[in-house]
Structure 1
Amino acid sequence: MRICIMAAALLLAGCSQSVQQYQAETPKLSLKEFFLGSGKAYGVLHDWRGKQTLRFTADLCGEWQGDKGDLYEVFYFSDGRVEQRHWQLTQFADGRITGSAGDVVGAANGQLAGNSLYWQYVLRIPYNGDELDVTVKDWLYLVDQQNLINRTTMHKFGIKVAELTLSIQQLNPQASCSNLKQQVAELASKS
């Protein structure tokens, strides 16, 4: 029995991934380059059983001053909801990423390596007329200079409750964020 437990533990340990495994992958992901100007996202949310529960599109726009950036997002959900998020991000020279947003409890922390970013944070989401805090484990993989795949798992009490898959496309790195920034501010004032 002890041998079975040890074998299972080794197998599980061998299955975990580290962002450092992707250090040699190219093209290199830089948030201040990819999330610059306008972008578009398309995503699907699955519950813990793998059943599709929501689809969405999102408009994105990012502005950067050195290593500090603002990423504005407006989400359009298949159930009719429209939500916003304003990320305030910092990208450090060693690849560390930190961020905060109105619906994020505390700070988001992550690490860039090669074409990938792994970061984790607690997200406060609407749930059955109330709010629920879930731990988000976010993997972003740059496919090419304009396309990124994002795979996210959400956990409550250490148990996976949902999974999100989305693709993000950078549209115009020269685009102004003024219209989306205004839309985010208007949506934030209503919540």
Structure 2
Amino acid sequence: MKTLWLACLACGVLGLGGCSGVPVERYRGEQPVLDLARYFNGTIDGWGMFQDRSGAVIKRFHVLIDASWEKRDGVDVGTLDEHFSWSDGTTSRRVWTITRVDASHYVGRADDVVGEAQGEAAGNALRWRYVLALPVDGRVWNVDFDDWMFLIDDKVMLNRSEMRKFGFRLGEVTLGFSKR
């Protein structure tokens, strides 16, 4: 019985270790280097979809982002005003306030983000982690997002987000950005 318990414990620890994924540092040498203040400045279009855990496409969307940055007390602060048009005819809006903490770290806030988003950039990649208060069928669920962005060139960025609740995978969002 003790051997079975130890085997289960080992599997659990290995399973949790697998949740951490690839570190953003792995992309440090990739080009072009992603600078959020440079890419998210001006008007950006995005097209994406949400897929449930089985892979079925549940919703598609277009997002128009008006982005700008300014210095506040010597710190770079960005505003990303996102306007979503969903395939079911609904619309929504999210306004991010993003603060550069240092050369590779950012924090972000939005009305539907619980607490603060944590971001780390290296090379052409940015990893955002945050909890989103997501309305579903009249209820609000706090869902963990693990959000990866990869700069392809000065106009195009790809984004892939995994959504989890209680550690269980709910689905994923795939999104392509194009800077005007």
Q: TM-score range by the shorter chain?
A: 0.7 to 0.9
- Name the Cα RMSD after superposition: 1.9
* Aligned partner of 1:55 among 25, 45, 60: 60
**Corresponding residue number in structure 2 for 1:19:** 24
Distance in 1 of aligned mates of 2:66 and 2:38: 12
* Aligned partner of 2:50 among 45, 54, 66: 45
Distance in 1 of aligned mates of 2:20 and 2:140: 33
**Corresponding residue number in structure 1 for 2:155:** 146
Q: Secondary structure at the match of 2:14?
A: helix
Distance in 1 of aligned mates of 2:85 and 2:58: 14
Output one character per residue of 1:112-168: Cα deviation in whole Å (capped at 9) or x when no partner.
000000010010111011211101110000000110000001110011101000001
Query: Where in structure 1 are there 5+ consecutive unaligned residues?
Result: 172-191
* Aligned partner of 1:119 among 124, 128, 131: 128
Partner amino acid, structure 2, of 1:23? R
Query: Where in structure 2 are there 5+ consecutive unaligned residues?
Result: none
**Corresponding residue number in structure 1 for 2:97:** 88
Using a 3 Å threshold, how does the CA distance of structure 1 residues 50 and 168 change in structure 2: closer, same or farther?
A: same
Distance in 2 of aligned mates of 1:145 and 1:115: 11
Distance in 1 of aligned mates of 2:104 and 2:97: 16
Q: Secondary structure at the match of 1:144?
A: coil
1:106 matches 2:115: yes
Distance in 2 of aligned mates of 1:94 and 1:57: 30
Partner amino acid, structure 2, of 1:50? G
TM-score (normalised: structure 1)? 0.82
Per-residue deviation at 1:15?
Answer: 8.6
Aligned positions, number: 167
Could you list the structure 1 runs, at least 4 aligned residues long, displaced by more than 3 angstroms after superposition: 12-15
Distance in 1 of aligned mates of 2:122 and 2:155: 18
Distance in 1 of aligned mates of 2:175 and 2:82: 14
Distance in 2 of aligned mates of 1:93 and 1:130: 37
Using the aligned pairs only, state the percent identity: 34
TM-score (normalised: structure 2)? 0.87
Per-residue deviation at 1:98?
Answer: 0.3
